[in-house]
Amino acid sequence: MVGDRRDGGTQGARYGQVSQGALDARDGRAVQAGPARRWKEDDPRTAVVRDALRTVITGLVAETGRAQLDIVDAGGGTGGFAVPLASLGHTVTVIDPSPDSLAAAQRRAAEIAVPLRAIQGDVADLPGVVGEQGADLILCHSVLEYVDAPAAAMAAIARVLRPGGAVSVLAASAVAAVVHRALAGRFDEARRLLGGIAAGLAARDGLAARDGSAVATGLPDGAGGERSAATPRRFTLAEVTGLIEAAGLRPGAAHGVRVFADLVPGIFADGDPGAADALLALERAASAHPAFHDLATQFHVLGYR
């Protein structure tokens, strides 16, 4: 998720097990307390995703006739998105490999007394944990960068979505990584990343030419090398859209996330509320403009079953 990424998990914990200290969704019994944070309405780093989720949820409520949706946050970390959604009255399940992150999510939920189901697991576990066609909305934020097989992860998500359901995908941009490193003076690293993008496009186009299919390569930062925790994948918008389509889902609206928010020095906005508001307005305007998609730090793409 934006600004709230996964922590390292402890070894030996079993996947698919409800973490100790959870806020029990059945009887509302809160067993842990701690600081809770809601969405910051003026945060330009999360505004675009937040706005898109509001629109999607409003549409799903209208289409299903149910005010309470079943929402799953795959790789939801410490609950930065899950807890605010639960506070709106939806049934929310967070699945994440890290017990520490899940405990933090539970503390957030307990602080505002909302039920939150927290389960240790991975995206591949979704069908077994949630059940086939068990979710109206699935969040897949900053997950594809780290899983072993992005296509398999998206396929698992598609199995869990109900007909008419939606997936919210947030993924890191390969093009933005090149720009950010160049602006930081890391020119050789930027050039290597640029070469990785070219190699990925060539590989995808070559396979498409042979069998007519589109492939999302998602090369790691260290272009051409093996992916690790230190070298998460980066994607082009076409690759993310291709993953959604390959899973049998229909791609929806795409937005650029953090087009300018990660480039503008904080000193320009922190001391002037007017400048902060102007940056937020600029971020929202640029997010929907196709010309700025590749410059955004992340892509937000919706997919529908």
The per-residue pLDDT for range 240-253, each reduced to its tens digit, is 999 999 999 999 99
Check residue 125 and give its pLDDT: 93
Containing 138, the helix (H) or strand (E) segment is strand 135-141
pLDDT higher than 80, residue 15: no
Residue type, 60: L
Q: What is the mean pLDDT of residues 52-62?
A: 97
Average pLDDT over residues 270-281: 82
Percent of the chain with pLDDT over 70: 74
Calculate the average pLDDT of the chain. 81
- Amino acid 42: pLDDT: 60
Which of the given ranges, 105-109, 218-222, 285-289, 292-296, has the highest pLDDT on average?
105-109
According to the model, what pLDDT value does residue 219 have? 53
Alpha helices in the chain (DSSP H): 47-64, 82-87, 99-111, 126-130, 150-160, 174-183, 187-211, 237-246, 267-270, 273-287
Q: What is the pLDDT of residue 43?
A: 78
Tell me the pLDDT band of 123, cut-offs 50, 70 and 90.
Answer: very high
Q: What is the pLDDT of residue 272?
A: 75
Residue range 214-240, pLDDT digits in tens: 445 555 543 333 444 557 899 999 999
Mean pLDDT of 179-195: 93
pLDDT at 203: 59
CA-based nearest residue to 153, from 122, 174, 117, 128? 122
Model confidence at 201, pLDDT cuts 50, 70, 90, reads low
- Domains for the chain: give ranges and CATH numbers: 17-173+235-304 (3.40.50.150), 174-232 (no CATH)
Residue 42: CB partners within 8 Å, gap ≥ 6?
276, 277, 280
Cα dihedral: 93, 126, 297, 78 (round 10): 30
Q: What pLDDT is stored for residue 274 in this prediction?
A: 84
pLDDT of 119 > 70? The answer is yes
